[in-house]
Amino acid sequence: MSEETPVLTEVRGPILIITLNRPEAKNAANLALSKGVAAAIDRLDADDALSVGIITGAGGTFCSGMDLKGFLKGERPSIPGRGFAGLTEAPPKKPLIAAVDGYALAGGMEIALSCDMIVANRNAKFGIPEVKRGLAAAAGGLIRMPRQMPFRVAMEFALTGEFFGAERAYQLGIINRVTDGPALAAALELAAAIGANGPLAVKASKQVIVESRLWPEDEMWKRQQEIVGPVFVSEDAREGAAAFAEKRPPNWKGK
């Protein structure tokens, strides 16, 4: 059945859970899975009732990378303009959390690095072992790892292809939370904390953090204002202030 439905989605309040559903293949990405993820990402961004997403894997593992059997048949699990697994070149505009159990290797690691936050079980393993297969981590691993961890450490992992654990990843600052239980449960706690906030404010805050890394210093305040200005005059901004004053939960409208 998982071959027929390689990606599952579930809505819990403002949270969209995206599950890679090829457990018999350790959730290795083929073209069908990539199309399913891309469709789920489109849904996350398009639905005003959703404010945060979680991507996880079925069967106790996150993703073992590219489906090598498909690769040998000439199939590529990438979508033009979207990248590997329909995600790595075009992450959503809304926050996305990776919930990692088991292995996040090769393309699986690159999926996780594409997310805004990562929560992992203590026994999870990470790595970009493509060099061991005569390949290169071209779906974002070689680009994002040296930006998200110390340069020389990223260089070592990329050139040796060795795995590293969740504790090491946490020490390097690429994981937000390490849990003893299922990663999804901890990711849902994090997502709920995000989803309780104003959706316009959350989306704009992510946009500033992501885009400001490339802004010239003499333009950064102007560019930030262009993004956050509409938030300050939104209905949600007034609702947030009123809810605080009236000591009640806010009723966000996303406008």
As annotated, the active-site residues are 110, 130
Nearest partner of 59 among 108, 101, 112, judged by Cα: 101
Exposure b/e, 196-207, CB count within 10 A at least 16 = b? ebbbbbbbbbbe
Q: Is the dihedral of CA 194, 199, 204, 207 positive or negative?
A: positive
CB 113 within 8 A of CB 156: no
Polymer length in residues for the chain:
255
CA distance 139 to 143: 8
CB 124 within 8 A of CB 166: yes
CA distance 146 to 137: 12
